[in-house]
A and B are shown apart, each in its own frame.
Chain A
Amino acid sequence: MFAGGASEVRDRPETVGWKSVATAIHSMRQLPMPMLLTVVSTDTQPLWIDFSTGRYYWELPLTSMPPQPGAVTVYSQPIEPGSPPYPWVAWRPMDPLLWQIGRFAFGSDRATWMKPGERYALQRWPNLTEIPHSAEEIRMIATLANGYLTADELGLLTGSDTASAQRVLNMLSLMGAVKPAGGPLAPPSVIAQSQPQPAQAQQQTQGSFGFFQRLRERISGGR
Chain B
Amino acid sequence: MMAGSVSIAGTGERIGRGLPIEAAVHEVVRDALAGAGLSLSAIDMVVTVGSDVLDGGMVGTRSGIAGAYGRELLTVPSSAGHAFATAVSMLDSGQAGTVLLAGWGEGTKFAALDGRIIQADPFYARPLGADASAIAALQAQRLLADGRMSLERLTEYGAAMRMRADLADDKTAGMQEWLAPNWSDGACALVLAAGSGAVRVVDFGTAFRPYCPDPADLDPAVWVREAVERIGHTFDEDLAAVEAGGPSALCEVAALAPILDSAGWRPLDPRVNATGGGAMAFFGPATGLRHIIAVADALADTSGSGIAIDLAGPIGQATTVVALQGAKQ
A joins B in a complex: no
Give the B-binding residues of A (Cβ under 8 A): none
Give the A-binding residues of B (Cβ under 8 A): none
